[in-house]
Amino acid sequence: MASHRKSRPTGPRVAGIRTPALATAALTSVALLSQTANATPSDDDRPSLEEVEKKVDDLYRQAGSATEKYNAAKEKTAKQRKKVDTLLDDVARRTQRLNDAREELGSFASAQYRTGTAVPETATFLLADSPQEYFDQNQLMGRLTGRQKTAVDDYVTQQSETMEKRREATESLETLTGAQNDLKTAKSTVQKKLATARELLSRLTAEEKARLAAIEKKKQEEAARKAAELAEQQAEERERREEAARQESGGTSSGAPEAGGSGSSGSSTPDPSYGTKADKALAFARAQIGKPYVWGATGPGSYDCSGLTQAAWKAAGVTLPRVTYDQVNAGTTVPVSQALPGDLVFFYDDLSHVGLYIGNGMMIHAPKPGAYVREESIYYDGESSIHSVVRPA
């Protein structure tokens, strides 16, 4: 039977007639409602918007990590395939020379038999493990001329070298198969992570997508604020260095900026030519803004993160490795506060992302699937996401 009692107020105030247990339950309910005001799951147990955002971000990072593994496996596969092709060509040439030498030695054996009573068996010679063994068994070595003995020795050497090359080619083929399997695994991992992320995003309502965009905008505003703080810190440090330089030179100073342009800092002075090379790398990177991120891509129509940084520095005449966890070792590590335009900024503990620093706390990078090459704060995913800064060349 339905109750006809009036409902009591649901505010935080606890009425004196309530028992302590009921009061505690009421306060707990209020707290829970407050905590989930912006993250309440729907009736069908769908994850909250915040849970979706975190899951999607995690999936993109995992896809980025798998992409770098894919890039490494792809590079290894290409190199190994080239090595295998070279070895197989070498083995083919050696085998042909070996066959030609075997035929010549067969004619030597036939010639020696002509003065004896035995009938030469060319098939026996061709099936022998070694021509040396064949001639010894038939007591022919002592009857061969110097040139013929040299031919036998050369044949034995060629046979040994050819067998070694065949063994090396077999091992290289096995390595190639392993690299191809790694490539398939990495590719499958990337595809699965991205498919899961797309599926999660496709389930969002229009309202949820709008809220997610608002959350992202707030993150970008915070990242921009942190970038401005870094720019200010670098400017103050630059002024201190310039003042110190003026005092050391007796008050005369041109006030010319250091290599690297505005927003630069760094007591770890780079090579004088670094600024020129960095300008070329940055000019290339800026020209790629607006091109889509495609995992595994190295240009010119699309890029992934390490593909962009590699291509940018290549334009400056500097060769960087293909993947992030090799690029991080291709230069000198410097503090974030001393980053110069052109430096590489690496992210996350697994080094799954990299961008090209342009000064004032900003970078150019290829962010993730569905996005385009763009300028963005190096704090785009929070200060803790920055792993290190490396100055190439």
Of 94, 277, 365, 368, the catalytic one is: 365
Burial 333-358 (b: 16+ CB within 10 A, else e): ebebebbbbbbbbbbbeebbbbbbbb
- For the question of residue 387 being annotated catalytic, the response is no
- For the question of residue 353 being annotated catalytic, the response is yes
Strands across the sheet containing 386-392: 331-334, 386-392, 344-347, 353-359, 362-365, 374-377
Give, as one character, the DSSP assignment of residue 7: P
Of 72, 169, 186, 305, the catalytic one is: 305
Distance CA 204, CA 213 (A): 12
Q: Could you tell me the domains of the chain?
A: 49-203 (1.10.287), 272-392 (3.90.1720.10)
Q: Token digits for 258?
A: 């250091």
Is 373 exposed, middle or buried (CB count within 10 Å of its CB: 0-12, 13-18, 19+)? buried
Distance CA 368, CA 190 (A): 12
CA-based R_g, the chain, Å: 36
- Per-residue confidence of the chain (393 residues) as pLDDT tens digits? 444 444 444 444 333 333 334 333 333 333 333 343 444 444 456 778 888 899 999 999 999 999 999 999 999 999 999 999 999 998 898 888 878 777 766 666 565 555 543 444 444 444 455 555 555 544 455 555 566 667 667 777 888 888 998 999 999 999 999 999 999 999 999 999 999 999 999 999 999 999 999 999 999 999 999 999 999 999 998 889 888 888 888 755 444 444 444 444 344 667 788 999 999 999 999 999 999 999 999 999 999 999 999 999 999 999 999 999 999 999 999 999 999 999 999 999 999 999 999 999 999 999 999 999 999 999 999 999 999 999 997
Which stretches of 198-330 are assigned E, i.e. beta strand?
none
Q: Return the pLDDT at 245.
A: 85
Of 61, 74, 76, 353, the catalytic one is: 353
Distance CA 33, CA 27 (A): 10
Q: Return the pLDDT at 272.
A: 81
Q: Return the pLDDT at 13.
A: 37
Q: Return the pLDDT at 241.
A: 86
